[in-house]
Amino acid sequence: MADKRKYVIPGDVVTTGPFRPEQNVILDGNKIISTTVGISEIYDDSVKVIPLTGMYIPKIDDLVIAKVISHTSLSWELDINSCYVGFLPAQDVFGRDFSAHADELTSKLKTGDLVAARIANFDRTRDPLITIADRDLGKIDSGVLVEISPSKVPRLIGKRGSMIQMIEEATEAAVTIGQNGWVVVFCESSEGLLKAKKAIQMVNEQAHVANLTDQVKEMLDKKGES
C-alpha cells in the first residue's frame, strides 16, 4: 500500500531507488522526478503522482460525458472537456448502412445534447474517436450537469465506488460520472438533487482532505434531519 504521501511540484525528486515510474513521473538515473503538481504515492515497486490540477487527457475505454458542439455531414464534434475535440462518426449511430444523403445527423443528436460516451481510440496524433454504441451509452435526456476537476474524479468515485455509492444511497440520486470531470445527476426529488450536487461539489473542493468520506457522510446525514 502507498505510504510516504507528500506534496510535490514539477522537478521534485519523489524518491530514489529501483521503482517503476508510473503516472506523472519520469526516471532520471535512479531518481524519480515529478512532472506535475500533486501528491506522490510510493508503492512496493512503483511510484506515481496524483495531480492536484490539470485537464482531461483522453484514455481508451474511458467513460466520458460529452456535449455536441457541431456536426458535419459525416460526423459530430463533441466537447469532452479536454484540449482535444471528440469525434463521433455517423456510422457509429446510424449503423453501417449510413448514407450521407438519406440520413440527417440532427435527427439523432443536435448541438447542445449531452451523451454518455466511451473513448474508442486515441493516440495524441489524432482527435479522440468516440463511440456511443454500447449498453448504457447514448443521449442523456434528463438530469443536471455538474462540472468538477477531472483530477478529482477518482476521489468522487472512492475506493471500489464507496464514495459515490454513499452519495447515491443517501440522496436516492443516479449519478453518472465521466472521467473527463463532467457528472450527470438525476434525482426524482429536487431536495435529493441539491444534496447530491452539494456532496459532489464538496468532494471537488476538498479532495485533498484526509477523512473526506466521513465529512461528506456527516453533511449528507445532517441535511437529511433538518
Residues engaged in binding another protein (CB under 8 A):
67-69, 79, 110-114, 140, 142-145, 184
Q: Measuring CA to CA, which residue among 80, 171, 169 is closest to residue 122?
A: 80
Cell numbers standing for residue 127: 482527435
Nearer to another protein, 32 or 114 (CB): 114
Contact 166, 216 (CB under 8 A): yes
| Least Cβ distance, residue 213 to another protein (angstroms) | 29
| Least Cβ distance, residue 46 to another protein (angstroms) | 34
Nearer to another protein, 67 or 118 (CB): 67
CA distance 64 to 52: 20
Q: Could you tell me the CA-to-CA distances from 97 to 8, 199, 218 in Å, in that order? A: 52, 45, 54
What's the angle, vertex CA 82, arms to CA 76 and CA 86, rounded to 5?
A: 20
Nearer to another protein, 72 or 91 (CB): 72
Nearer to another protein, 29 or 112 (CB): 112
Q: Measuring CA to CA, which residue among 59, 40, 68 is closest to residue 138?
A: 68
Nearer to another protein, 8 or 146 (CB): 146
Nearer to another protein, 53 or 162 (CB): 53
| Residue type at position 212 | L
| Least Cβ distance, residue 114 to another protein (angstroms) | 5
By 3-state DSSP, what share of the chain in percent is helix, strand and coil, each rounded to 5? 25, 35, 40
| Least Cβ distance, residue 192 to another protein (angstroms) | 16
| Least Cβ distance, residue 143 to another protein (angstroms) | 6
What's the angle, vertex CA 62, arms to CA 109 and CA 110, rounded to 5?
A: 10
| Least Cβ distance, residue 113 to another protein (angstroms) | 5
